[in-house]
Structures are given as structure tokens and as C-alpha cells.
Structure 1
Amino acid sequence: MKHTIFIIVSLLFFTINSITCKLDNEDDELARIIRPITDEKTQQQAALNVIRRLIHERADNVAIKVNFKLPVNYFKIRKTNNSEMLRIEASSGVAATKAFHYYLKHFCGVHISWDGHQLKTLEQLDEFPAVNIEVEASSKIVYYQNVCTHSYSYSFWKFEQWREHIDFIALSGITLTLAPFQEDVWTEIYREYGMTQDEIDEHLAGVGFFAWQRMGNIRGWGGKLSKNFIEFASNLQQQIITALNELGISVAIQAFDGHLPIHFKTIFPNASFSSTTQWNDFPPQYCCPLFIEPIDPLFREIGEKFLRAMIQRYGTNHIYFSDPFNEVQPRISDANYLRNVSLSIYSGMQAVDSNAIWLLQGWFLVNNPDFWNDEITKAFLTAVPHNKLLILDLQSEQHPQYNRTSSFYGQKFIWCMLHNFGGTLGMHGSIRLMNVEIPRAANMENSSMIGVGITPEGIHQNYVVYEFALEKAWDYQEINHKKWIKNYARNRYGLVSHETTSIEHAWLLLLKSVYAFEGLQNIRGKYVYCRRPSLRIQVWRWYDEKLVIKALGKFLAINESDLLNDHLYERDLVDLTRQLLQIQAEFIYTTLVETFKKKDLRKFAIASEMFLELLRDLDSLLATHDDFLLGKFLEDAKAMALDDDERKQLEFNARNQITLWGPDGQILDYATKQWNGIVMDYYLPRWTLFIQQLNISLQTNIAFNQSKFQQDVFNQVEYPFNENNAKFYPSKANGNVVNKAKELFHKWKRITFN
């Protein structure tokens, strides 16, 4: 009996380990298929170049060896006391740069982020500290980007900005991202099929709205594209992909997803087309591109032609992104139909590249769960051969889909933190939840999770949650997140332990408040003062605002002289003071509405003036730091132009995206920004007009008319702001951050209406 039990247990152990090994081998295989073919020496040199750009001549004491025989995403670091050289051996260039960042963070107290770097703690060291460690990442793939990220965050970047961001990507250990452009190839293909330039211009959206035109949501809005821009974007994309591939970072390029210009119906009258559903009430001239039915031979023809052209121009890492139903509902709810759609898309990829992997955003499952029931979801996902589809579970921190789909029916997926919509500001995040849920997802029964990624719609906000997610990508194990955030605070500002009590306490308070969100409510960054005024705005907060106010007090209690001109400290101080004003604006707004309804003229007048004064103070605060300036955004847009007409068009793209988002406010305030300039010339005039009309209502005893106000504010404020290209906004900060923050903290930490 004992022998029988032993044999059964042994067989069970062997079976489980065989399954585990098989899954690990599959994961390794997928990761290796998409790995760039760049040789070891090229990746070594590219990694050293990143390090040299970061630490300059001290890079002479860093040696890197890239060895493709090592496990995927692996590195080891050696430094002895009797040698000046820091030696890194890694599986790729990006693993080597991640290793160097890991070493700087954990052994030199350095901080690296998209907000900026803190390197003074390294500069204080005479030589690199001794170390002997090796790390193998939990993730086979570490992913970055949402298809919307380009449009919201780097529509107007040149290569100088990309170069810095690619270095950040490499130092963060990100191994897969997206190519930003495709319009050059589409322009050529449309011409091949007989479209005129005017017809092409009518279809392609403007620079600030590429993402949604590509996914079939809109057409033509913000266009037309100049020949200058098409050539610029093509050259820029070649530079970006080359720089990423040299580091061993994979780049997914676009594959055909079925969306076409409406003119194809005239060119191919017998083809099987349907129109996409109207998206967010965009008017007919800007909505409803065609969708070519996958069973039509034209689908395969166009798909192959497009992908071949993309590969010929930009090369391939054998991974292609395609999102046929992003906020677009399929015409019928039928499992066989959707199976054929999926199979047709993948077959088109495979016909061009036998090693093709399809990268698919899972947002369609979050956006339309009633349509995507279990039967049709399974049909759509499993039509693609196993290990040939890689799914981004796009908002795993709030709306995970891996659990309701039995780990995507065995298809590989990446646990992704979306977190941000529209590139809006506002402090929030779910650090404890990520700490728990990432290892839980990886260890669940039959898990097909292959990695962790960050998928924000916009960057340059709330960096702390992204650093946490990217660290979890390399190590799934649950950690002490309170200890982690204290270390984060020390490194970010470069303070030694005995100096950091106040800053550590501040970040612990933020961890307990704004970064402790674990609900299902949508957080879109549309806070009260950023929204079109109304008496019906719902004020909602998941945290104790007193903790945030206390955290700001702790920030201001620092006496360390080194922080007085510290970029990261001052940036965070502006952001935290901005958060205080955001909180207090909500309290004032609530009082304003209540006193209006009660017809308390005295208190209404006090609340009204207080609200407008707060907006003026907010604008003056934001003016003190480069990261909070409208002018910087607009000047980047205009700098891409060759002539005045193009400058006006690009500036319109920038202004419209962050305000009306459409011709008549179709996605009003979705991508709102709390920046100097837009507060003074957009939010403040809106609220001034609103309060004026409320006052008239109180004085005349005639009911306030929200519909009339909306038309008035559109005509008098919103539309003119979109069209006004005459006013210049500064792109450099002005004023003293610390003094302004102290002034506003003491002024606004408590409010009364006496």
C-alpha cells in the first residue's frame, strides 16, 4: 500500500512538473520568437551607450557582456573591492540596462523615472560598491504602451525626446512596446487602390487623433496630414525601431484589422463591407469607416499587402498588433462569424510571416461585456493557434478578464495596469492591490500569464505606481509595500536615512490615501474644476483628504537645502499642492451648489469668489514648474510644422484634444490637463460665466437654464479657445515653487465660509 501511494504521488509530481516545464518552455519560445535579431555585440554597445548618456565618464568603469544562451530576462552583476570595474552579464541589451538600473537603485540610492533622475547619491560615491548578485525575471515579457499612449503623450515628439524615453524604457527592463506610426504605408496603399489625395485627406485623422482613426472609431478629424509630416513620421519611426531593437527590445508593428476608408465602397462595389458603429456621437463626416468582412478575399489581399509593406520598410520582430473591435461592436453576435474574423486576421499575418504572433488588446472585453459572452469570446480567441496570440489584459488592476475567461482559454496573456485615461492629472493608484493580485494571477490554476505590463493612455503622472508595477514585472513575489514606498521616497530625492523621516511619513500617508484605491468606480481625471460647469457634478472621493493635506505639510517641513532646487522634489511639491487645491475646489463647489439652491446670496457670493480665486491660485502654482505648462505642449506641436497653415492645424490638434475632443465636444474634457495657461484661459472663464448666470438666476428669480449655459460656454469660451492661435504661452517655468506652495498651503489647508 505504501509503495502504491508513493508511485501515485511520484507520478502526480512528475505530471505537474512536466506540465510546468511545458508551460515554461512555451513562454520561453514565444519570448524568443519575438526577440530582435540584433547581435550580442550591438546590444552590448547600445546598453553601454544608454549608461554613458546617464552617468557620462563613469561609464568607463562599467563592462557589459550580452549572452543569448542565458535564460530570458536574466542578469548577474559582479563588483569586487579590489577592482574598479562593475561587470554585468545579461541575456540582452535591455536586461543589461535593467541590471544597471537595479544596481543603482538598490546599492547607490539612485532614482530614474520619466519625471527625471536623481543621481547625486551616485556622485557622492568614490567608486561603485561591491556586489555579487543574479536575477531572473518572473516575466518572460515586460510590456509598455496602450494604442492611445502615442496620441495622448508623444504626438509631437521629435527624436531627441524619444531618445531620452527609449533610455528610460531600457533602464526599466521593458522588453516589448509598440511602433508609433503607419500612415506613410497606408497612404501608398490607398493610392495603389485608386484613391485621390483629397479622399486620403478626408480619411486620415490629424496627428493628435491617430489612435482612434486607426481603430475604426473616427475618420478625418483634425486632418489633413502634410507630406512633410508623413516623411518626418516615417523617418522617426525608423530611428525609434532601430534604437529599440539595438537594445534587444521588441517592437510590435500594426497589422490589418479590417478598417478602411468609405471610398473603398466605390472602388469595390461588389465587396462585402459594413459600416462601423457611430462612436461617441461623431457626426457623419467624421464617423463610421468601413469594415471589410473577413470572408471577402479583399480582406486577405489588403492585409497581406499592408503587412508586407510595413515589414519591408520597418523590419519585423514577428509580433503584430491589431484591434478590430476596440469600442466598435461587431455587426452580429455569432460565434462562427467572430471565429472567422479572428482566423482571417491571423491568417493574413501568417501568410506574410510564418512566425507571426498577434498582439491583441483586451479592452473590447472590458468595454462591452454584455456583447462578449463566454461563447463568442472563446470562439474569437481560440480561433488563433495556441501560442500565436498574446493578449493584453489591459486593465487587470480594476477589471481583470483572465478570471472570467479561464485564463483566456489557455492563450498567453500579460497582466496590465492601465491606470490612466486621457493623460489626465490627479493622484491615484492601487499599490497594495497590485502587490497581491499580480502573484495571485501568476499562480492561479492553469494560469497562462506570461508577463506584466503598464498600459496607460497617458504618461507623466503618478510615476510611483508605474515604478511599482515595473518592479513587480521582474519579481512577482508579494513584498512589504510600506517599506518599498519609504525606499522610493529616499531614492527619489537622494536623502540619507536620518534625513528622510518627514518625506517617508508623507509618502506613507499618500500610500494610505490616494494610492490605496481598490474599487470599481471609473477614475477618469475629470475633477470638478476641469469639467464643464453644472449643478449636477457628482463629487466623489475614496480617501481621507486630511491625510493628503497632512502629507503636504510633511513635504513642506523638509529643511534640507539640497531640495530647494531639486527638480523631482519641486515637481512633486507642485503636484501635491495641486491635489490640495483639487480637493478644496470640490468642497467649495458643494457649498456653492447648496447655497444656490437655498438662495443664500451671501454665502453663495463667498463660495463663488473663493472658487474663482482658487483657480487663479492654481494657475500661478502650475506656472512654477516646467512639467505643468500648456505652452510646452503647444510649442512642441507648432515646432513640427513647416509653414503657418500647418502650425495652425497642429496647434488646433493639441488644443482640441485636451478640451472639446471633437468638433462639438464629443468627448468633452476626457483628456483635460491641469496646466498653467489652460486653467486661466479655459477653466476660469467657463466657471466665471457659470457663476454669472447663476447670479442672474438668483437676482431675477428665473430658473437657471443648463442647456442655454452649455451653448453659451461653447460659443464664448470652448470653441474660441480651440481656434485661438494668437496667444503665446510660456514654455519655461516662472516663480519659486517652494514659496508658492507654502503660501497656498497656509491659505487653503482650511476653508470657511464666514
Structure 2
Amino acid sequence: MQRVFGLVVLALSAVLVEAAASHPALDGLHALVQRRLADHADSFTFQLSEDEGDSFVISDTKGKPGGITVECTTVSVCARGLYTYLTDFGGVDIWWTGSRLDQLPSHLPRVGKPVHGTAVVPYRYHFNTVTFDYTTPFWTFDQWELELDWLALRGVNLPLAWVGYEYILIEVLHEAGLSDTDISSFLSGSAFQAWNRFGNIQGSWGGGLPMQWVNDQFALQKQIVTRMTELGMTPVLPAFTGFVPHAMSSIYPNASIVNGSQWSGFPSALTNVSFLEPFDPLFATLQNSFIKKQQAAYGANVTHIYTLDQYNENNPFSGNISYLANVSAGTFASLRAADPEAIWMLQGWLFFSSETFWTNDRIEAYLGGAPSNDSMIVLDLYSEAAPQWNRTSSYFGKPWIWCELHGYGGNMGFEGNLEAITTGPIDALNSPGSSMRGVGLTMEGQEGNEIVYDVLLDQAWSSAPIDIPSYVVSWVARRYSVKSLPAAAQEAWRILSTTVYNNSNPNNQAAIKSIYELEPAVTGLVNRTGHHPTLISYDTNATIVPALQLLIKAKAENEALAAVPEFAFDVVDVARQLLSNRFIDAYQTLVATYNSTNVTSESVQRAGQPLISILSDLDTLLGTNENFLLSSWIAQARNWSHGDDAYAAYLEYNARNQITLWGPEGEINDYASKAWAGLISTYYIPRWQTFINYLASITRLGRAYDSTTISNQLLLIGQEWDARTWGEGPGEHWGVSGEDVWELVDKILATWA
């Protein structure tokens, strides 16, 4: 009888498992398993529970040897539970450099005692509005697919979804009576759309935004939003902000439309964006049109959360308390009229970047215009270095998310503060009266320093600060997933995690920029803080040099590491940082030589040659790895052209200009600079050689240094470089060079260590 009863229980369990596995909400998660773990597609069972909160339980599947069950409260939490099994038991991971989940052992490790996991916050957020230009503007869905799987598995449930915004906006503006000419003069280029969406710039340089681009991006957004929802994430979609073409004033002369402020030195034709004030009835009309069209395009209930930023680095028309409250009240009312469940998401960057304007009484008035505490979510955008939640009484009760900014412009220098991103969120969550509801990544560019982003997303699942030393050990073990990982690899990362990634200086916590990426000058490049930080907060000889030596030692002890893409990436990245830091030394020697009493033209040229040698070595090094190629960035842009040469040239110009002059006259020169092979050889080396030649020339002629003269020469180099199309200049590699990276790194260590 007991045997019969047991068989009945097993059969019933199998039925329940099958029923749970076939739940339609889990189809997207099963598809992820099929994509990334095809050999184990039948090994994982997912079950949705009705428990409260975001929690999961991982266990061995009853009656199914080798099977793993993840029971969870939401699809997103199921994905995080799967990730916990894959990393903690399987020793595999998914990285920006690619998924290694297919390296899961053929016989799945048993769980044994069930493992429980609970999120400490309901929201796990990802993306900055500008990431959609600094990193993803030219991505195809294949690239987005890896990104979205990376997000889902790490438990992100609230990603920003900005792609394709212009399609909906154009439809709304057409409906309002604006012509194609009115609209095209307003929209910005393909690599600069974020700042048009923010109301910082209008129009474009290098040609108007083609409708082919608008249509293609709209089609891509449909794929992205569908995949986000399939993976259990709630996309944060845009709304109508109020920024409109100048022609709107002519068509609606009685509407309350004001001009925004000038932004970052741009000429008035490209900034001073018109702003339709939200308390004007026309604002609500356009908002309703926008939301309804967006719901028709993507689905009525895919989200009720909308990103809407009106004063990003632009101050309001008035600082009057009542005015600010009326602006936000009108904005929120328009959202709720279009979507009765609407929640307004706001980047809190404005309260830091314009701190003088945004006093606490003005912040309270502006946030208070959205009447209840379920009406808004504020992203505390720079929590790791410049939090605003603590000076605003937790945003006066509005829910907010603790965010890590990092990565200004996609700068690639090593930087991080692991202690701040582990203790900071927990301290904020436990502070009296805290209205914190999430943690998130708001990096400007998703380039390098991957460990700091992994740590923060993992911190969302720990009620106590993560123990960094033990975390780093397990992180390195699965990043370099080889048998018998040499201790040298672990020691390299122990050094980096306790020094380079232990920067407690809030003035340069944004990814360090290498000075060779800045316009050459005799002063002002070294030890900078702020938006172009160059201050190195560690001793290169005690950190970068031994870390690189240890990684090379690890490879010598286990040649299998050479075939690990993440290991090859890290070796190139650490060697890149070594050469970048050594460039500072060489630059300071050049300046000292130029300023010496016995300077000659020849001595200046001699002092300048090490700078060129370092850059040449750096370009060769970066050319060995597909992740550090200018050609990848340009090819991504040109690939959207559908074979149209003129369109390809337009896209390429946008791609080139963003990473160099950032504007027709270098308005934000070098802000989005990159350490890429091809960019160094064809852009940075000519700039620095021109600078060295200039110093030598004025030394020979006995003339004074003229910053305007050399700056104009360098601007011309930038404009000529931006105007190229592919193949016009040497050194812009289409692919990996084929050089032996290990020999190159040995040479670099021998020459520059």
C-alpha cells in the first residue's frame, strides 16, 4: 500500500511539475534556457508561487535525477534563481563579452539543502538615458539579446526602454499640425538622440535624421519591449516631455511655450529648446496622444512606468515655488489622464548637477506636485559619490532607487568603490524614514569595470553588505572558468579589488579618463576631477604592474586561460591601463623639458617621442582584441545603412563625431573618448604629434605658447577626421590584427613596467 501511495505521489508531482513548467508566463524563461543552455533545456523546472515579495527557492527536482527546480514569486525572480544556481553551483556566468553558460557541467551539480533567496528591494533598475547613445545606439537585436539575458539573469526587473522614441513623437507632432520640415529641424542625429530627448539640443550637424533610421529603430524597439516582458521585466517607456520644435509657437500662438537655456556652449540654433509648459492644456492633449500611440504599438499593459526628465542640465524658466509645483502637477496629471495607473520616473541628476538652483524647498515643491507617494520613482543617479537622498529627507517620501552612475561618456579607465556600492545601499535602506525601493545601474556608458556593476546587482539580494574578499574569489573563479585556476589570477584581482576598486575619493568616481584622450595642452590635463577625471588614486607600481605580471604568470601556469575570452579581455585591459598611466609620466617629462631653462627644439622632440611610442604600443595591443576596435563601432553604425553609401556616410559621421569633437566645433570635445585601436593610431597620435611639433617649433622660433593657436590646429584635425568615410585613412582596422597578445604584453612589461 505504501508503495502504491508513493507511486501516486510521484505521478502527482510529475503532473504538478509539468503544469508549472507549461505556465505561459514562463515561456520566455524557457526560451532563455534553450538559447543559453540548450544541452540542459529539460533539466530545469520553474514553478510560480503565490508568496509575497520577491523570493525564490532552488532545490533538486523530486523524482527527476539531475533536475533542478526553481520556485519563485515572479518570472524575473525565477531568472535570478536560475542565475544563482548557475553561478553558485555550476560555476558559469554570462558576461558582456559573451555567454559562458553553455560550459555548465554535463551532469548538473546537486543542490542538496534547498537554497533560498530574497530581494531586499522590489526594484532592480538598469540604464541611463545617455547609455542609449554612448553604448547601444547602433546595436542590432543580437546584441540586445545578450544584454537582456544578462539583465534578466541578474534579477533586473525595471529596465529603461528608449529605443524608437522618435517614431511615436513624429506621429504626435504630425497630428498636432507640424510639417516634416518643422520636425526634421528639431530632431538630433543618430548618435545624439538622448540629449534631444532631454531638451539639451535640437537639430543635428552632418545631416538630418533619416526616416529610415526612425523606422528601423521603432521596429527594433518592438523586439526589445517584447523580449523584456517575456523575461519578466517591466520596461520603463518614455512619455511626452514637453520639448517641441520652434514651429509649435507659430501653430499655437496662445500656448504657454518658453525657451530652454543654452547647453554646454552649443550655438543657439542647436540648443535653447522650446518647452511647452505642462500646465497648458495642449500638453495634456499631446501626452494623451503619445501614450495612446505607444500603447497601441507595444501593448496597453506592458508598463505603467514612464521616464520623463524636463530639466536635465537645464534650469526651469522660473524658480518660484508655485511655478515648480504647477509644472510637476500638470505633468503628472497628463500622465494619469492618459494612463490611470501611470508612475513618473525621474532621474535625480538635476538636483546634483544644478545644486545651486535646486534648493530643498524647490525640490520639495517640484516633487510634491505629484500628489501621492505612489506617483513617482526618483533615480538617485550618483549615489556612490554624490547622493541626494540624504539631503532631501529621502526625496520627501517619494520612492527612490540607489544608483551607481560611473562610466562618464563610456570612459574606460579603471575605477570603482566596492565598499561604497555594498555598504551604501544597505545603510540607505535602513536609514530612518527611508523611502528607498531599489538599486540600479545608471552608467553613462557600459564599457569595462564589469565587476563593480555585478557587485551592485548582487547586493540587491543581500540584506547585509557583501563580503568583498570572498565575492572576488568566486567572481574570478567563474570568470576564468578553467580547471586548476592558478592562485596568481586570484592574487591579481585581490590587488585590484583592494586598491584600484577601493577608491574612496568622491571627486573622481566616474571612470578615469586617460590624458592622451584629451586635447593636448601644457597645463590642465593631470589630476583633474569632475566630468573628465584623470586623477589616479592608486600607485601604478604597486597595483597595475603586479596585477598584470600575475595574470601573465597565471597564463604560463595554465595555458587553458589563453582560450578564455574574459581572461584575454582582462589582460588587454590591465595592460591598457598600464600604458595609459605611463603616458602621464612621459607627458610630465615633456612639459618639464619644454619649461626648462636650457630647452631646445631637439630636446622637445626627444622628450615627445616616448608619448608616441606608448600610443603606438597601445594601438597595437588593443588591435588584438575585438572588444577594443574603432572598426566595430563604425561598422555597427554603417550596418544600418541598407547598402546606401550616402546613408552609411551619415551614420559614420555621427559615430565618429560623438567619440571625438562631440559637436560641430568641439562643444563637448573628447567627452566620449575611447581607448580603441584605430582611434589611437589615426586620431590621438596625429594630435599629439602635432602638439609636440608645435612645442618644438615655437621653441626654435622663440615664440610664446598660444593655446588658441594650437587648439585651432587640433580642432581642424578633429573636423577632418570626423569627415572621413571608411577606408580613407590607414590604421582603422576592420578586424583583430592577428598579433600575438602574449608577446605584446611581455614586451610592454619589459619596456614600461
Match of 1:177 in 2: 159
Shift of residue 272 of structure 1?
Answer: 1.5
Match of 1:4 in 2: none
Q: What are the ranges of 5 or more consecutive residues in structure 2 without an aligned counterpart?
A: 1-20, 528-534
Match of 1:724 in 2: 724
1:304-703 → structure 2 map (5 Å cutoff): 304-315=288-299, 316-384=302-370, 385-495=372-482, 499-522=485-508, 523=510, 525-536=512-523, 537-539=525-527, 540-546=535-541, 547-558=543-554, 559-598=557-596, 599-601=598-600, 604-642=604-642, 643-703=644-704
Relative to structure 1, the CA distance from residue 455 to residue 503 in structure 2 (aligned partners, 3 Å threshold; closer, same or farther) is same
Task: Tell me, in whole angstroms, the C-alpha distance in 2 between the residues paired with 1:115 and 1:121.
Answer: 15
Shift of residue 57 of structure 1?
Answer: 1.9
Partner amino acid, structure 1, of 2:182 = E
Partner amino acid, structure 2, of 1:736 = D
Task: Tell me, in whole angstroms, the C-alpha distance in 2 between the residues paired with 1:40 and 1:421.
Answer: 44
Match of 1:112 in 2: 94
Match of 2:531 in 1: none
Partner amino acid, structure 2, of 1:595 = T
Q: Does the aligned pair in 2 maintain the 1:79–1:130 contact within 8 Å?
A: yes
Q: Does the aligned pair in 2 maintain the 1:513–1:545 contact within 8 Å?
A: no
Report Cα offsets for 1:244-287 as digits up to 9, x if no partner: 11121001111122211111111111222111100011112211
Relative to structure 1, the CA distance from residue 303 to residue 438 in structure 2 (aligned partners, 3 Å threshold; closer, same or farther) is same
- What secondary structure sits across from 1:65 in the alignment? strand
Q: Does the aligned pair in 1 maintain the 2:279–2:331 contact within 8 Å?
A: no
Shift of residue 603 of structure 1?
Answer: 5.3
Task: Tell me, in whole angstroms, the C-alpha distance in 1 between the residues paired with 2:186 and 2:590.
Answer: 45
Report Cα offsets for 1:13-55 as digits up to 9, x if no partner: xxxxxxxxxxxxxxxxxxxxxxxxxx98233121111122112
Relative to structure 1, the CA distance from residue 158 to residue 119 in structure 2 (aligned partners, 3 Å threshold; closer, same or farther) is closer
Partner amino acid, structure 1, of 2:469 = K
Task: Tell me, in whole angstroms, the C-alpha distance in 2 between the residues paired with 1:488 and 1:524.
Answer: 21
Task: Tell me, in whole angstroms, the C-alpha distance in 2 between the residues paired with 1:483 and 1:706.
Answer: 50
Task: Tell me, in whole angstroms, the C-alpha distance in 2 between the residues paired with 1:625 and 1:718.
Answer: 25
Q: Does the aligned pair in 1 maintain the 2:640–2:648 contact within 8 Å?
A: yes
Q: Does the aligned pair in 2 maintain the 1:62–1:87 contact within 8 Å?
A: yes
Report Cα offsets for 1:164-205 as digits up to 9, x if no partner: 211111111100011222111111122222222122111111
1:281 and 2:265 correspond: yes
Match of 2:211 in 1: 227
Relative to structure 1, the CA distance from residue 587 to residue 377 in structure 2 (aligned partners, 3 Å threshold; closer, same or farther) is same
Report Cα offsets for 1:42-99 as digits up to 9, x if no partner: 33121111122112121221111233x2333221111169712111112222211211
Task: Tell me, in whole angstroms, the C-alpha distance in 1 between the residues paired with 2:651 and 2:102.
Answer: 39
Task: Tell me, in whole angstroms, the C-alpha distance in 2 between the residues paired with 1:121 and 1:167.
Answer: 16
Match of 1:60 in 2: 42
Shift of residue 233 of structure 1?
Answer: 1.3
Q: Which moved more, 1:276-285 or 1:311-320?
A: 311-320
Report Cα offsets for 1:113-158 as digits up to 9, x if no partner: 22223447623x5333233112111110100000111111111111
Q: What are the ranges of 5 or more consecutive residues in structure 1 without an aligned counterpart?
A: 1-38, 750-754
Partner amino acid, structure 2, of 1:58 = H
- What secondary structure sits across from 2:443 in the alignment? coil
- What secondary structure sits across from 2:236 in the alignment? strand
Shift of residue 524 of structure 1?
Answer: 5.6
- What secondary structure sits across from 1:279 in the alignment? coil
Match of 1:11 in 2: none
1:5-84 → structure 2 map (5 Å cutoff): 41-67=23-49, 69-79=50-60, 83-84=65-66
Relative to structure 1, the CA distance from residue 740 to residue 129 in structure 2 (aligned partners, 3 Å threshold; closer, same or farther) is farther
Task: Tell me, in whole angstroms, the C-alpha distance in 2 between the residues paired with 1:169 and 1:524.
Answer: 21
Report Cα offsets for 1:551-600 as digits up to 9, x if no partner: 11111111211111211100000000000001100111111111110044
Q: Which moved more, 1:92-101 or 1:348-357?
A: 92-101
Report Cα offsets for 1:270-314 as digits up to 9, x if no partner: 222111100011112211110112232222222222222222222
Partner amino acid, structure 1, of 2:744 = K
Report Cα offsets for 1:480-499 as digits up to 9, x if no partner: 21121122111110145x63
Q: Does the aligned pair in 2 maintain the 1:626–1:731 contact within 8 Å?
A: no
Task: Tell me, in whole angstroms, the C-alpha distance in 2 between the residues paired with 1:442 and 1:332.
Answer: 34
- What secondary structure sits across from 1:46 in the alignment? helix
Shift of residue 440 of structure 1?
Answer: 0.4
- What secondary structure sits across from 1:203 in the alignment? coil
Match of 2:9 in 1: none
The alignment's TM-score, normalised by the length of structure 1, stands at 0.91
Match of 2:744 in 1: 740
Task: Tell me, in whole angstroms, the C-alpha distance in 1 between the residues paired with 2:380 and 2:97.
Answer: 26
Shift of residue 105 of structure 1?
Answer: 0.9
Task: Tell me, in whole angstroms, the C-alpha distance in 2 between the residues paired with 1:238 and 1:356.
Answer: 20
Q: Does the aligned pair in 2 maintain the 1:660–1:668 contact within 8 Å?
A: yes
The alignment's TM-score, normalised by the length of structure 2, stands at 0.91
What is the percent sequence identity of the aligned residues? Answer: 31
Relative to structure 1, the CA distance from residue 571 to residue 696 in structure 2 (aligned partners, 3 Å threshold; closer, same or farther) is same
Task: Tell me, in whole angstroms, the C-alpha distance in 2 between the residues paired with 1:314 and 1:117.
Answer: 28
Report Cα offsets for 1:211-259 as digits up to 9, x if no partner: 1001110011245222222221111111111111112100111112221
Q: Does the aligned pair in 1 maintain the 2:413–2:511 contact within 8 Å?
A: no
1:211-250 → structure 2 map (5 Å cutoff): 211-222=194-205, 223-250=207-234
Match of 1:128 in 2: 109
Task: Tell me, in whole angstroms, the C-alpha distance in 1 between the residues paired with 2:519 and 2:429.
Answer: 42
Task: Tell me, in whole angstroms, the C-alpha distance in 2 between the residues paired with 1:286 and 1:311.
Answer: 31
Report Cα offsets for 1:307-351 as digits up to 9, x if no partner: 222222222411111000011101111111101111111100000
Task: Tell me, in whole angstroms, the C-alpha distance in 2 between the residues paired with 1:685 and 1:533.
Answer: 11
- What secondary structure sits across from 2:640 in the alignment? coil
Structure number with higher relative contact order (C-alpha < 8 Å, ≥ 6 residues apart): 1
Task: Tell me, in whole angstroms, the C-alpha distance in 1 between the residues paired with 2:100 and 2:751.
Answer: 31
Task: Tell me, in whole angstroms, the C-alpha distance in 2 between the residues paired with 1:541 and 1:603.
Answer: 28
